[in-house]
């Protein structure tokens, strides 16, 4: 069985001095041989300190310390332990809830996060006995250990990671991932291309984790921007010439709003993949027009679905506006509330075929049984398939607005709001109504210098939507509340003014 860390070992032997990862904030790079050696040291330290096979290790570290982060991730697997990548934006209470559930034996953190970790530990993490702090991008506690090859044996069915969901609609769940389910791209013996993949996803997210190993499997370096900045992103593309990049809709919107984008040389890009949330059709078209030589695709996947995802071919962007593409390596069905497949064009729950490679919720068999059934993942997302099998996301099942008996899907309204020239960002959700039960509320962020009032936005929507879909309550915000992956946290939208 080939593990992710086997790929790192291969690259360290074959391309020892080449740059595996580049930290764009400092310009420093980490070679494959350095990554391999330092992760061997830290793995030894974990084991000698009492971390045993199957022990959970919380990786609670700022992604600005990117090299320390990816060294630690490899080290945890080399020690046959289970990595628990932990969101650094959690409150102490949320941190205590997540890690109290994961029950880690050890934590790898930093001096700036140590106080939050200790506060959470005193609240509800009695299992936590071992803590190491990174200093910059190194692990001082491990410097005395040997850097020779180190590996505690594991099987493909052993747990590798517990990834806690972003929790846009409730308390995060821990998704247990076994070693056999970590590979999005199979291990291989790639030829070095001298090309690079650019991304800025937090490393504790599903997307961030996938970019630790996938670029090297393609013979590429990774260019990492720990905090997204549109101007720096454009400069990086011009100067370092990456061929591939990953964005989320929020960062794509920031790019399109940057005044420098019209003059930037982005011709090196061959693929721009946009994930984590549906991309408004108008924004997708504008990006595709800006990058005529690149495939600009909006993908759909979930942490729960593992390696299953969709892909929208370049030639379909205009013809299938709003689609997230066709399934790759899997099947997708649309089902009604009874689990019965519906016809093309009808809206229902998205079911993703996962076969024998289904994941599970850690210590939650009831939720696992409800989510994964007979080889199908019940996503909780609503969507439809067209006649050719292309998928369109409508929204979360829990986010359907029922206005006077009419079902309204937030994405229908949001798509129209994004067509308004003065609106930079928009989110739609239900607001209480004493007669209708629910009405349509819209929270909008205006472009700089724009001054439309609520009535003009409502009028704009009324010209493009059925009357029962038109938002009646408009709330202006400076920014939308988002989680680290860029998804809007609708539960945190402020109550509209009365």
CATH number for the domain that contains residue 406: 3.30.300.30
How many separate domains does the chain show?
2
- In terms of phi and psi (left: phi > 0; alpha: psi -120 to 50; beta: otherwise), the region of 345 is left
Is 101 within the bounds of a domain? yes
Amino acid 253: pLDDT? 86
Kind and range of the H or E element at 257?
Answer: helix 249-257
CB 305 within 8 A of CB 279: no
Measured CA to CA in angstroms, residue 180 lies from 102, 138, 161, 177, 184 at distances of 21, 29, 11, 8, 10
Long-range contacts of 291-295 (CB under 8 A, 24+ apart): 291/266, 293/267, 293/269, 294/266, 294/269, 294/270, 295/270, 295/271
Task: With H, G, I as helix, E, B as strand and everything else as coil, classify residue 138.
Answer: strand
Name residues of the chain where pLDDT drops below 70: 1, 166-171
Q: Rounded CA gap, 408 and 386, in Å?
A: 20
296 domain-assigned: no
List, for residues 69-84, the tens digit of each pLDDT value: 999 999 999 999 999 9
What values do phi and psi take at 16, rounded to 5? -60, -40
Neighbour tally for 260: CB within 10 Å: 13
Task: Report yes or no on 317 lying in a domain.
Answer: no
Domain boundary (133, 151, 181) is at: 181
- Tokens read off for 237: 């593309």
20 in a structural domain: yes
Residue at 275 is within a domain? no
The answer to whether residue 476 sits within a structural domain is: yes
CATH code for the domain in which residue 101 is found: 3.40.50.12780
Instruction: Give 366's contacts (C-beta < 8 A, 6+ positions apart).
Output: none
CA distances from 441 to 298, 422, 438, 456 (A): 26, 18, 9, 15
Specify if 104 maps to a domain.
yes
Of 181, 201, 229, the residue at which a domain comes to its end is 181
**Final residue of a structural domain among 111, 146, 181:** 181
**pTM for the whole structure:** 0.85
Residue 14 in domain: yes
In whole angstroms, give the CA distance from residue 39 to residue 77: 9
Question: Which range of residues forms the domain containing residue 457?
Answer: 400-492
């Amino acid at each position: 069985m080939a593990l992710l860390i086997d790929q790192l070992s291969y690259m360290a032997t074959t391309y020892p001095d080449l740059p595996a990862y580049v930290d764009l904030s400092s310009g420093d790079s980490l070679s494959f041989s350095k990554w391999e050696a330092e992760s061997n040291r830290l793995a030894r330290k974990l084991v000698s300190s009492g971390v045993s096979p199957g022990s959970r290790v919380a990786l609670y570290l700022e992604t600005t310390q990117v090299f320390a982060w990816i060294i630690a991730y490899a080290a945890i697997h080399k020690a046959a332990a289970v990595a628990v990548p932990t969101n650094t934006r959690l409150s102490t209470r949320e941190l205590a809830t997540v890690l109290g559930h994961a029950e880690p034996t050890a934590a790898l953190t930093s001096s700036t996060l140590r106080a939050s970790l200790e506060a959470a530990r005193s609240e509800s993490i009695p299992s936590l006995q071992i803590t190491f702090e990174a200093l910059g991008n190194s692990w001082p506690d491990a410097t005395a250990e040997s850097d020779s090859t180190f590996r505690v044996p594991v099987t493909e069915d052993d747990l590798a990671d517990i990834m806690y969901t972003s929790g846009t609609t409730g308390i995060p769940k821990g998704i247990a991932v076994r070693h056999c389910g970590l590979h999005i791209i199979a291990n291989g013996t790639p030829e070095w291309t001298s090309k690079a993949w650019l991304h800025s996803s937090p490393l504790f997210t599903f997307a961030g984790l996938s970019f630790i190993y996938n670029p090297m499997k393609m013979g590429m370096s990774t260019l990492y921007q720990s905090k997204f900045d549109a101007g720096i992103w454009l400069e990086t593309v011009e100067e370092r010439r990456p061929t591939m990049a990953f964005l989320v809709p929020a960062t794509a919107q920031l790019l399109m709003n940057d005044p420098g984008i019209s003059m930037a040389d982005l011709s090196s890009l061959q693929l721009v993949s946009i994930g984590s949330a549906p991309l408004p059709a108008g924004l997708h078209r504008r990006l595709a027009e800006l990058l005529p030589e690149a495939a600009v695709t909006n993908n759909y996947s979930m942490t729960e679905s593992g390696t299953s995802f969709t892909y929208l071919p370049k030639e379909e962007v205009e013809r299938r506006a709003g689609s997230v593409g066709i399934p790759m390596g899997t099947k997708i069905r649309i089902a009604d509330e009874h689990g019965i497949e519906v016809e093309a064009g009808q809206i229902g729950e998205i079911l993703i075929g996962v076969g024998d490679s289904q994941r599970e919720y850690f210590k939650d068999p009831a939720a696992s049984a409800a989510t994964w059934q007979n080889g199908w993942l019940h996503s909780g997302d609503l969507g439809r398939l067209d006649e050719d099998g292309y998928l369109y996301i409508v929204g979360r099942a829990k986010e359907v607005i029922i206005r006077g008996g009419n079902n309204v899907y937030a994405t229908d309204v949001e798509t129209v709001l994004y067509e308004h020239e003065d609106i930079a960002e928009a989110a739609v959700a239900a607001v209480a109504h004493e007669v209708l039960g629910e009405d349509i509320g819209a929270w909008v962020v205006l472009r700089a210098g724009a001054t439309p009032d609520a009535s003009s936005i409502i009028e704009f929507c009324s010209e493009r939507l059925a009357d029962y879909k038109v938002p009646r309550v408009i709330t202006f915000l400076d920014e939308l509340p988002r989680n680290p992956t860029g998804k809007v946290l609708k539960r945190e939208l402020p109550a509209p003014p009365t």
